[in-house]
Chain A
Amino acid sequence: MTREQITAEILNIFSREFEIEQPGLDKDLRETYEFDSVDAIELLLGIERFLKSELTHEEKKMAMGIRTINQIIDYVEGLVRVRGRETHA
């Protein structure tokens, strides 16, 4: 899965679930878009559906410090890499 594909899906989730259209990729989500703890939980569910894979508690904890769309994309890229390694192992 490419970064472009991940970006497209994350933007799709933001549009569909949070009514946030074309967000700035480096904008602070809380300050700019009132993205809060409830949204963060919904986002993680959206990512699980996208990856068709449950996130571990450790992976969820890693998401706690995320503030921007680019950080979310980095995070999902990391998850995809781990799952790719697990598949090939």
Chain B
Amino acid sequence: MKGRRVVITACSAITPIGHTRAEIVDSLRRGVSGVKTLREDHLLSKFIHSQVFGTVDYPIAFDFRRTFRKTMGPVAYYACQVAKEVLDQAGLPPEFVTSGRLGVAFGSTHGSPTVQREIYKTFFGASQSEFRAIGAVDYLKSMVHTTAVNITKMFGITGRVISSSTACTTSSQSIGFGYEAVKYGMQDAMLCGGADEYDTTTVAVFDNLMACSTAFNDRPRCTPRPFDRQRDGLVVGEGAGAVLLEEYEQARKRGAVILGEVVGFACNNNGGDLILPNRAGISETLRLGLDDAALATDEVDFVSAHATGTKMGDVIEAQAIHAVYGGGPFVTGLKGYMGHTMGSCGAIETILTLYMMQDGFIAPTLNLEEPDERCAMIRHTMRLREQPIRVASIQNFAFGGVNTNLLIKRFV
């Protein structure tokens, strides 16, 4: 079904390797890691084997009025900050922002775990008379769609709200579903993305599944190691990313700076096991994305792999990439720089890809020194390449068997 063209006219990310575009590009070019020692949380951190975390440890000058702050947990601070930066950058007319023609697609893995912990403390540690102190505000701060609706409130956005919460595909779905909403005319623009705050619960879950990296606790920047022989698991991280998607003709008429074009999206499910990666399911979502974009495999010259650095996941993904693309496109696992930023990873990896696309370089997979022979059949980016990207595929896969594939084209 042919629809309208959808372009990206603004983007912003808070990542373990920087906040501004210049900081992030510099980290990618210089191979700077944002993985640090896991912070103490006075609850779980001392029981977790994996003592590394993709950390946002620089100050962010949040400047939100009380009327907005009161319903925001840490995850909403991240979300609203990148949303604010995107809207500032885009320069949309104020009357358009509140017109109902702009919507929001934004999510997180599970709302605000920090606020949820406070609620649990009251449940398990307080007297019954204090139970009533768990009120509407706690819910608004902690709920799964807290990021999306705090954004709508802050900017008076009245269009549709989509709040995906599918773990690692949360924000790639946000962009994909936002793309479809604009493409098929339900909205003229969508503010899309995802965020996740510092949280050790997620680390503990992956740690218990023995999926987390533990061998580099004394050298955090050396892990995760996507596709590398020495990889020993993923590293959980925090961050946020937002992009503004606009219908092309509108963007052109208002003279917007166009950063790239979303030309395709696919999302499917493995239809079975909720944890194990599935080659058939992943391969299918890669093909479906290409079909949606009406692109041949040889037109894609860069793949941003999900590549979390787990033993099996990376092998299955490499097999799927090879099955669909052969050894054609350069493949980079951007999580080597910052770990797995969970609900925000799809948006962050899209934004990093846009930066590389604009600046004409491809960052290598950080910590990939010697590819695992089972992953070696694809074209790994082993060193910084000064090379243009015309079409990029951003792949993400989540617990629950959810797979996504976004196709982004350089705008010329």
Are B135 and A19 in contact (CB-based, < 8 A)?
A: no
Are A38 and B140 in contact (CB-based, < 8 A)?
A: yes
Are A38 and B137 in contact (CB-based, < 8 A)?
A: yes
Are A41 and B67 in contact (CB-based, < 8 A)?
A: no
The 5 residue pairs across chains A and B that have the minimum distance between CB atoms: A34-B67, A19-B66, A41-B136, A41-B135, A38-B137
B254 at interface, CB cutoff 8 A: no
Interface size class of B (residues with CB under 8 A): 10 to 19
Are A42 and B135 in contact (CB-based, < 8 A)?
A: yes
B152: chain A residues at CB < 8 Å are: none
Residues 43-68 (chain B) with a chain A CB within 8 angstroms: 65-67
Can you list 22 A-B pairs, Cβ within 8 angstroms, ordered by A? A18-B66, A19-B66, A34-B65, A34-B67, A36-B67, A38-B70, A38-B71, A38-B136, A38-B137, A38-B140, A39-B70, A41-B135, A41-B136, A41-B137, A42-B70, A42-B135, A42-B137, A45-B132, A45-B133, A45-B135, A48-B132, A54-B132
- Residues in chain B within 8 A of chain A (CB atoms): 65-67, 70-71, 132-133, 135-137, 140
CA distance A54 to B132 in the complex (A): 9
- Residues in chain A within 8 A of chain B (CB atoms): 18-19, 34, 36, 38-39, 41-42, 45, 48, 54
The minimal Cβ–Cβ distance linking A13 to chain B, given in whole angstroms, is: 14
CA distance A36 to B137 in the complex (A): 12
Chain B residue with the shortest CB-CB distance to A45: B135
Chain A residue with the shortest CB-CB distance to B65: A34
B67: chain A residues at CB < 8 Å are: 34, 36
The minimal Cβ–Cβ distance linking A77 to chain B, given in whole angstroms, is: 23
CA distance A19 to B132 in the complex (A): 23
A48: chain B residues at CB < 8 Å are: 132
Known: A34-B65, A38-B70, A39-B70. 4 other contacts (CB 8 A): A19-B66, A34-B67, A41-B135, A45-B132
CA distance A48 to B132 in the complex (A): 10
B66: chain A residues at CB < 8 Å are: 18-19
A19: chain B residues at CB < 8 Å are: 66
B70: chain A residues at CB < 8 Å are: 38-39, 42
CA distance A52 to B66 in the complex (A): 27
B133: chain A residues at CB < 8 Å are: 45
A41: chain B residues at CB < 8 Å are: 135-137
The minimal Cβ–Cβ distance linking B133 to chain A, given in whole angstroms, is: 7
CA distance A45 to B71 in the complex (A): 16
B136: chain A residues at CB < 8 Å are: 38, 41
A54: chain B residues at CB < 8 Å are: 132
CA distance A38 to B139 in the complex (A): 11
Chain B residue with the shortest CB-CB distance to A48: B132
Chain A residue with the shortest CB-CB distance to B66: A19
Chain B residue with the shortest CB-CB distance to A20: B66
